[in-house]
Each structure stands twice: as C-alpha cells, then as structure tokens.
Structure 1
Amino acid sequence: PISTSPSPAPHPLSPSPNPNPDQRKPPPRVWVPLSPSPSPSPNPNPSPEPDKQCSYGKFYVYDLPPEFNAEIYQNCDKLSPWGSRCAALSNGGFGQKATGIERIVPANLSHAWYWTDQFAAEIIFHHRMLRHKCRTLVAESAAAFYIPFYAGLAVGKYLWDGYTPRDRDQPCEKMLDWVQGKMPYFNKSNGWDHFLVMGRITWDFRRSKDDDWGSRCILMPTMRNITR
C-alpha cells in the first residue's frame, strides 16, 4: 500500500533502506527515547498552550525493555520467513519513497508518498507518540499510559510452520508480566488507562485453542482492559 505524510523523521533505530544481502542486519544502535520537541520561536498567532490543547490529560510512554520493541526492530531481517523486512520498515516505519506514481499523483505531491508496509503501524505510532504534544515525562501526572510493544512484528515470524503455540504467546506474555510486575500504574486501574497498537488483524491475536491460528494475546486476562 501507498501512504502519504509530511516527510517523517527517521526512526531512532531505522535500518538501512537498501540492506546489503550479505549484511542485512543493521549495526547495533542505542535506543534513546525522543524528548518532546523544543519550544518553537515566538509566533504572532500562537496556538493554545499544550496543557490547554490536552483537555483529556497527558499520556506517559513506557520505556519498555528493548526486547519488546528495539530488538524486534533491529532484527528486521528475521521478522519474516520470506526475507528481510528492513527496507519496508525503514524511515520511521513509512518505508521507502514511492516511485513510478507520476500517472496517479501530481508531480508536486509525489515527494510525500511512501511504500508503507501494512504491518508498520506499531513503529509509526510509537514514533509519533514520542513526539506528541500531549506526552508527559512524569508518569504520576499521566491520565493514560502507552505501551510501545510491537505485538504484530513480534508474533509475525511465529505464525508459520515450525513454531509452537508457546512461541506465539511468549512475547505478549512477557510484556504483560513486565507491565504488571514492574509498573505500579497498571495495577492502580487494572489496565483501564493503558493502550497499545497491534499492527496486525485481530485474528492473529485471538487463538482459542492450540491447534488454531495465531497467538492468544488479546484473550489473556491481563489484556482484557487494555485499549488496543
């Protein structure tokens, strides 16, 4: 699919858009959460103050262990049994710039179009949330909590032959154990004020018995109240 957007900034762990077949795994990089954007220059017609814009409160982004997002992204060459996904997930999840679309899109707009992969939503959303005006760095003041777990990318390679139901369930189980066990905010609301993005269809996350398709992530008790 093709998507359009203002030119996105590279993801903190963006792999090379043209991976070398002999070295498709990007070099190790440090996962550094992005700080809120600096204050803009004075504007004669300023927008409302951020606190006034965030009428429903601000949200806090969990700094998850890298195995739940950064390492998944860094191992983009191992996410699919059919080859590397590094190019498709590059550029902050937008993928490579779209080419050959002159007959469809006006020339003055074609620079804003990208070959965006259908499973890249988790990366794009995470990137946007790190820069959002309603993000707070103080968890105690947050009205909601974003869990930047790449659920779809984590389960994708385990959906095919050669893997067990346990393989498919483990990434989600480990993430939920961490959020519930390490963060006091989850237990205060039993997860009602937590949310995440799952970048695949729900069928991939609602396995009711072991010989069915997908993981059972959505059906896990701890997931019951989390918005996704």
Structure 2
Amino acid sequence: MNYSFDFNSISFGPLLKGLVVTLELTIAANVIGLAFGFVLALLIMNRIAVIRLPAMLFVEFFRCTPAIVQIVWFFYCVPMLFNLFLGSMTMGILALGLNLMAFNAEAYRGAIQAVPREQLDAGIALGLNPLQRILYIVLPTAFRASIPVLLTNGIVIFQQSALVAIVAVQDLMYQGKSLATETYRPIETFTVVALIYFAVSFPVTQLVGFLERRRQLLMS
C-alpha cells in the first residue's frame, strides 16, 4: 500500500464544533427520553386498553423501525403532513428523543414491576394517594434500578446521533464528511471522528459496568 498518512492535515476546529452539536443533540434527547419515558411506561402498564394500546403501539413503532428512517420521516414528512416547519436541529432532537423515549419506557417498565409490594403497601398505610406513591416510591426506586440501562440507551443515542448528518445537521459526522471532502483525507478524518466518538462513549460504558457490578454486590 502506497498511501501516505497525514494527520497534520486534519483541522480539529470544525470537528470540535460538530462535537458540541452532537452533545447538544444527545443531552436534549436524553432529557426527553428520561422524563417522558417514565410517563410512557405508566401508560403502557395502565389497565385501560384505550390508554395502554396507543402507548404500546408508539413503543413498538420506534423500537421496530430504523432510527435513520425515523429521522428522515420527521425531516421530510412532518412539514408536508402538518404544515409545521421546524429547524433540522429541532427535528433531529424530536426524532432521537422519541426514539430514546420508547426504549427508556421499556427499561422503566421492568424496573417498576420490580418495585417491592411492601413499599407500595407502606405508602398506602401512610395515606399517600396514587400520584404521591408514584412520585415518592415508584419513581425513585425504578429510576435507581434502571440507571445502567438508561445510561446504555443514552450512549446509544449519542452514537445514533451521527445519522442526523443526512438531514444537514452540522454535527460531528457532518463536519467529518465535509472535512474529508475538502482535504481528500477520508481515512485520517474518519479515524479521528471514530476516536472522538470512542473517547466520549468509553467512559460511560465503564461507568455502566461499574454500576452493574455494584448493584450485583448489593443484591448478593
């Protein structure tokens, strides 16, 4: 192979700007996923079919369709169907946030089902109404139990955020593609992009592993 590597030709300025956009997308999507995922989990567990079935359909749609299709659908179809024109960044946040919301709902649901019955009975004995039992007993317990899965889902969304580059959101992947085109150095550029994604993702995956091991020790 006669290819001569030249990493000095890579300008990190645009990549860092793209990383900031990627982190903004990830944080906004996680806010949506963490907050509304719990609400969606409660709807899924509702005994009333009219409430439960649409929530289940929502979850299955986002879990069973590719994230790239969801992003493209929001970007092109929402303006046409609803005459609603939002920026590409907003569309990306909505698509990623709703996707994460569906996956987090399943994580919350499993954690809610694992809440000890004794805790709920204690709440009833203390005179807490259903909403208070959810806020003060179910939510804290379920959130702690599902933290490893929620973190894993969050880092997956960080990685999937690269897909918004196809709808011209100037994230890390978009900036990498532009830089590779300008410098004619795709190998060096995308190697650096991959290393940046790895540098952000790896510490979180290690944290997830640590929390899992700690949880197993506490349970043993």
Structures share fold, TM-score greater than 0.5: no
In proportion to residue count, which structure has more strand? 1
Q: TM-score, normalised by structure 1?
A: 0.29
Larger radius of gyration: 2
TM-score, normalised via structure 2 length: 0.30
Q: Name the structure where helix makes up a greater proportion of residues.
A: 2
Which structure ranks higher in relative contact order (CA pairs < 8 Å, sequence separation ≥ 6)? 2
